[in-house]
Structure 1
């Protein structure tokens, strides 16, 4: 695809239109007058080393974001494309000589802390109030010593904020990530440049050798040379991971479509535009030679409206009156429930309702008050769907509902989650046998003006080397009437099995009546009703949610595999063992079985409950490592039947389910024809059961009838030695197993985007 046409407006005098100014030399090379010597890095002992993110975390983040950095984009093209002046006739004041000199002095500072002070002093009051079309008044704050308690104790160097929200700042100085308009990170040495350009590649490698004495042995064994634009030195990788983590944090705690970030290293700088598909990186420029570029960046930022600065166009700050209504309504909910993250019995950051921030969302004729998003340590990549959930107070209706906000793939073939709910609502009106395991949608759909832009630029002429094809994403939002809680918070085995049966009945209806395959059956996608059905009862109903990976089988092309999707830990053994297996309803039913086993092993009493070492090893083997041979062996060797579950109803249920599912993997020896005939007959009979629409939920319910009422005491136990599966790195499938959701309705890639997800630019 061709890149977007850049804005052709006249740039600022003195700003380079093509390649950036080459690095300044410190002294002439003794052998040749035409060569230059790289700036000598200052000693790292002056650098302020952040404790978070750790070197290992930065390497991990850099690893997960490889290939999604597109650059170097010419600086003027970056400005004209993403931050254009809308009116060239208005007065644009130039910075004073004093301001310019102060900014230039940043490059001469001997410590990072001195760089922060000089930078803030230089930009104070910029842009001035009489500077034309300024939309926001910016303030620059040195916040390197303020570790944001609501953002994983992260601390960026300089935060740039809108003065109109001063009342949100802690003590007027401690600006949190949730209030960042943009932020700036500083490094002393040019070796920390996360990216390389052909004319500077050798220089960066040379200077790194002098400065990496205390930064050695942090590289993984991964080949960092696949993507030429990404600096593969220790310092470069570390800095790139740090920048990505900070950008992810800012975009996670705000409802953002994109975010601007400035990096200053030695006398050089780069500007980065992050969105959920990629990061567009400017050419590096010498701000000591051209300080006006920095001033122009902030002037352009200040004259953009909220949407252009990266905010969700439908969401604004809630008034105090709106916030009070939400606080009164949400007060009866567990704090984790405000954000749809029930992790019994832990509370989220120990926050109370008074400290919870709120936003107002307007969509169509409806207005909702929702929670400001919160940070989770697993949100460490700025790319991807970034699902955010919140309770929602509906203004005018005085009711509480639930919001799900995420970035959906934006292709004509993608089956949207709101579309699934609309089809279900049509069936609910006419079908008397409509199952109870579905929520009702109030409103939902794509949010206009929130499409990611990576697909417009990944083939641009200035993109260096090999990059990955970006996914085209758009904000998708739905509001549901039901406010449930995670099945992970069940208190007794009967409730857990009841919720699973309800969810699988809903799954079967979705598959066999509407022709939609869910493709992500896991504990995270089964909700539990907030209160028991019967007043005073202990058993709750379950609801199947999250249809954003669902596939419309009625439109699946037979010539191509529909691919795979789901949560890696709960994939069927068949999908893990053979990449040629086409994901089907049988795999979803096996995923349901693995979900029951996982919840039971982790939260119910059994033979390994008092042996944490063996339990941890089993959980790692069956779910974290998730090798197909482990799951297959557990089924064929009757492992689950021998687990000695304390709840006998659960014991019988798992035994019956495992006895049927294992026949997918029983090998039939041909040496004994008589035995082979018997085994084939048994396999056929059990496979028919596994394929039957009603088998799984009816089997569970038959055993539920024999189970007594739940005991008075809570059966739920916490195995603190084994954490819940939460990290995206472990939840994601590998590239060979995870399919892009853009397969959507047809089950295969549209013709215009079916090319490889990685390409080498040719000159």
Structure 2
């Protein structure tokens, strides 16, 4: 990039997220002009003075933005202040908001483009501050006076205009795709599955995002894959993390140029010491673990590392750029058409989890609906007349640990995984090590989540239904607080449900396969937690079935009985947790939960029921992206929501009130449980995957200062 243009974007936000920096620098290319130029009507309607400003107006367009500038004039919005000859981050709400606004803009650029770093500028009255941001932290100069004939600002802008793409922060391993590349995708997309067609449209054609070509070197080919370079097209990401620092994971629906099939490209910035995820897949594929994805390529991207830790002393880790390509582009778990599909997918995933543990000694440690997908087989790979089998895949193994690693203890402080689906035991004991039972409990929690989100249910106490659902989800899946050791803790309501064997809600169709499965899973978790604490209620005798199927489906042949399924159930395995003389550690091995799912899958041979309804979480205004609901609710995606983010304190107070009310309702429901119809038998119920709570905390800390210590601003740019 040799030519940059500057546009006044302060009144015209980007279409997708509603953010609008005051000035934005763009490359002077046809693609960028198409994105930032305003229509003639918009230009005429713009209220600007003086009139000469009109020619410089443009729209914020993060996929094409190079650098941005943010202006502040009010005294209380000055991000920094001088204390004893040192500039420090100003510790006021308005100053924190001003810094947070800039960090959001920098994050938006890094999310929308293949970037290693970003430059941006803050101007407060006659003072300018130059920033450099990468995925470890943000660094900046001391504020300086930029007025006069010669200043550091004009020197910086001159050099900015002379930078090439790599110096501006663009990833040199990614190049713009050609028109021929994009046309090739369009030529074959009609032959793909409906889900893959939707992904192609969103990634390459309808979003307006640039399309890039990524080349993976032959030496990074996966286990038993051809030793040759691989070329893939990527566009708008399927998933991205709204955090300025951390792993910065982005997942793309990618097009494999060689095979003309859709696949998955995952791009992230793990800590320098971390082992690549492809090594876990090598072990899995060598052991022939079923129902997992196939790794085509994986490895670190050249010598790309974060540089901010080199220019100032800090405890934040150096991060290295990593990329992995999976052969499959799976359909998300929440896209199931009926509970039958959901049950089969979960059964497949449990088998994959068991095989990985028994054959490789790997514990996945992040069982969530975001890491369970349906295998979306391309129609061109099926025989004539062949129907695709229903098959679930367990993906995302970057948090997996071997038995030796589990025994050696944690390498970082904080609970890694997806908070909503972490077991009650781990949430209430923040220093405890993961066990098989914790991953299996996560599967039970996933089934609860899906039942609440997509199936009809009723409540065992008289409450406002919509209000109760939101309270219950926040309390049961989201609640967290700090203990005295500064660890995140939670899981109180999960623990209560498992130890009492009662829910505060009940599925409406008590005769369905899903509900019977949920009942059995609740009893399984209840028995397991009895070995830790309470006593179990006696279940009621089963009711007679009145089942009538709506349609049928074909499970994958990998679910047919095998020698491992027919073995007698082993005694519960060893556990590090304290037990009592009541209950059994029924989740310590895979045997019992697999037997429960096997029974449910056999029941599905009669046919499936169209029992999935519209998204109840969406109906009550709760987000369902791949990170915490509570966190996602604070992410401004449109201008109106940006205004609402200013009411943070009020919303937090309301949320705490909701949680307290939900706790009271839970107690009422537990007391009235035996009086409710059918309640004597235990019944039960998609933005960082949090990439570990330490990243969430890092994102919050970034909004309060340049680093966590905030000791001194550095002349680092």
Give the equivalent residue in structure 1 for 2:516. 652
CA deviation after TM superposition for structure 1 residue 398, in Å: 2.5
Q: Which has the higher helix share?
A: 2
| Correspondence 1:192 to 2:77 | yes
| Correspondence 1:513 to 2:377 | no
Distance 1:582 1:485, change over 3 A: same
| Correspondence 1:451 to 2:305 | yes
Give the equivalent residue in structure 1 for 2:107. 248
Residue 128 of structure 2 aligns to a residue whose secondary structure is strand
CA deviation after TM superposition for structure 1 residue 695, in Å: 3.1
Distance 1:556 1:608, change over 3 A: closer
Gaps of 5+ in 1: 1-134, 202-227, 342-346, 429-433, 460-467, 672-678, 742-756
Give the equivalent residue in structure 1 for 2:280. 420
Distance 1:399 1:142, change over 3 A: same
Residue 665 of structure 1 aligns to a residue whose secondary structure is helix
| Correspondence 1:386 to 2:248 | yes
Give distance in 1, aligned partners of 2:531 and 2:103: 48
Give distance in 2, aligned partners of 1:561 and 1:681: 34
The answer as to whether partners of 2:470 and 2:620 remain within 8 angstroms in 1 is: yes
Which of structures 1 and 2 has the bigger CA Rg?
Answer: 1
Give distance in 2, aligned partners of 1:338 and 1:257: 30
TM-score, normalisation: structure 1: 0.65
Of 528, 539, 547, the residue aligned with 2:397 is: 547
Give distance in 1, aligned partners of 2:251 and 2:85: 44
Distance 1:550 1:458, change over 3 A: farther
| Correspondence 1:229 to 2:88 | yes
| Correspondence 1:372 to 2:235 | yes
| Correspondence 1:148 to 2:14 | yes
CA deviation after TM superposition for structure 1 residue 406, in Å: 1.6
Distance 1:708 1:313, change over 3 A: same
Give the equivalent residue in structure 2 for 1:591. 442
The answer as to whether partners of 1:446 and 1:475 remain within 8 angstroms in 2 is: yes
Distance 1:255 1:417, change over 3 A: same
Superposition map of 1:398-409 within 5 A: 398-409=260-271
Residue 438 of structure 2 aligns to a residue whose secondary structure is helix
CA deviation after TM superposition for structure 1 residue 268, in Å: 0.6
Give distance in 1, aligned partners of 2:319 and 2:630: 20
Gaps of 5+ in 2: 38-57, 218-227, 481-489, 536-578, 632-687, 697-706, 713-717
Give distance in 2, aligned partners of 1:297 and 1:335: 49
Give distance in 1, aligned partners of 2:100 and 2:689: 20
Distance 1:514 1:195, change over 3 A: farther
TM-score, normalisation: structure 2: 0.69
Residue 527 of structure 2 aligns to a residue whose secondary structure is helix
The answer as to whether partners of 1:338 and 1:371 remain within 8 angstroms in 2 is: no
RMSD (Å), alpha carbons: 3.8
Give aligned pairs, total: 554
Of 456, 461, 483, the residue aligned with 1:605 is: 456
Give the equivalent residue in structure 2 for 1:565. 416
The answer as to whether partners of 1:495 and 1:538 remain within 8 angstroms in 2 is: no
Q: Deviations over 1:558-587 (max 9, x none)?
A: 476887421111111111222242221111
| Correspondence 1:723 to 2:622 | yes
Give distance in 1, aligned partners of 2:116 and 2:595: 44
Give the equivalent residue in structure 2 for 1:631. 494
Q: Deviations over 1:274-327 (max 9, x none)?
A: 111100111111001464312221222233332222111211111111112223
Give the equivalent residue in structure 1 for 2:558. none
| Correspondence 1:362 to 2:215 | yes
Q: Deviations over 1:630-657 (max 9, x none)?
A: 1111122222497235252122222222
Give the equivalent residue in structure 2 for 1:675. none
Of 576, 587, 594, the residue aligned with 1:690 is: 587
Give the equivalent residue in structure 2 for 1:702. 599
Distance 1:354 1:597, change over 3 A: closer
Give the equivalent residue in structure 2 for 1:293. 152
The answer as to whether partners of 2:298 and 2:325 remain within 8 angstroms in 1 is: yes
The answer as to whether partners of 1:562 and 1:582 remain within 8 angstroms in 2 is: no
| Correspondence 1:279 to 2:138 | yes
Give the equivalent residue in structure 2 for 1:223. none
Give the equivalent residue in structure 2 for 1:264. 123
Distance 1:183 1:722, change over 3 A: closer
Distance 1:317 1:335, change over 3 A: farther
Distance 1:379 1:580, change over 3 A: closer
CA deviation after TM superposition for structure 1 residue 235, in Å: 3.0
Distance 1:424 1:600, change over 3 A: same
Give distance in 1, aligned partners of 2:193 and 2:70: 37
> Which protein has greater RCO, CA pairs closer than 8 Å, 6+ apart?
2
Give distance in 1, aligned partners of 2:580 and 2:60: 68
| Correspondence 1:615 to 2:469 | yes
Superposition map of 1:303-382 within 5 A: 303-330=162-189, 353=206, 355=208, 357-364=210-217, 365-373=228-236, 379-382=241-244
Superposition map of 1:481-500 within 5 A: 481-500=327-346
Give distance in 1, aligned partners of 2:189 and 2:689: 39
Distance 1:455 1:168, change over 3 A: same
Residue 444 of structure 1 aligns to a residue whose secondary structure is strand
Residue 450 of structure 1 aligns to a residue whose secondary structure is strand
| Correspondence 1:663 to 2:527 | yes
Give distance in 2, aligned partners of 1:594 and 1:567: 11
Give distance in 1, aligned partners of 2:194 and 2:153: 42
Superposition map of 1:716-755 within 5 A: 716-719=613-616, 720-721=619-620, 723-726=622-625, 728=627, 730=629, 738=693
The answer as to whether partners of 2:339 and 2:611 remain within 8 angstroms in 1 is: no
